[in-house]
Amino acid sequence: MPTVQMNTRLDSATKAAGDAVLRRNGYSPSAATQALWGYLASHQQLPEFMPPRKASAPTEARRREILEGEGLAVRLFQQMTGISAPSPQESLPSYDDLRQAAYVERGLLDG
């Protein structure tokens, strides 16, 4: 399986203290990272010692803006033209039906 390289930044005191603990327990920083990512992949959740971080207020605000803007182009089009878009529940004619109707409208086929 192809591998990827990860780079991270931590203060030197934390790195030294963490490396010492890992070394005492037979792990390299790389092996510890592989173990953490293996846990995440197999359990599909964070380990108990890592509580989920809350989304930052700007991130949450931006998410709300995006959700509020969803469908804005369609709503503006409807307001400007008075043409309503079909709801997702409405059944639309197929391409073949539309093509057939266009040919009939042009007199190229009998209806």
- Residue 83 pLDDT: 84
What DSSP string runs through the chain? Answer: -----------HHHHHHHHHHHHHTT--HHHHHHHHHHHHHHHSS--TTSPPPPPPHHHHHHHHHHHHHTTHHHHHHHHHH-PPPPPTTSPPPPHHHHHHHHHHHTTSS--
Write out pLDDT tens, residues 91-111: 788 899 999 999 999 999 987
Residue 99, token pair as written in the block: 């093509």
- Residue 49 pLDDT: 92
Write out pLDDT tens, residues 55-67: 667 787 888 888 8
Write out pLDDT tens, residues 3-39: 899 999 999 999 999 999 999 999 999 999 999 999 9
Residue bearing tokens 């043409």? 83
Residue bearing tokens 């969803």? 70
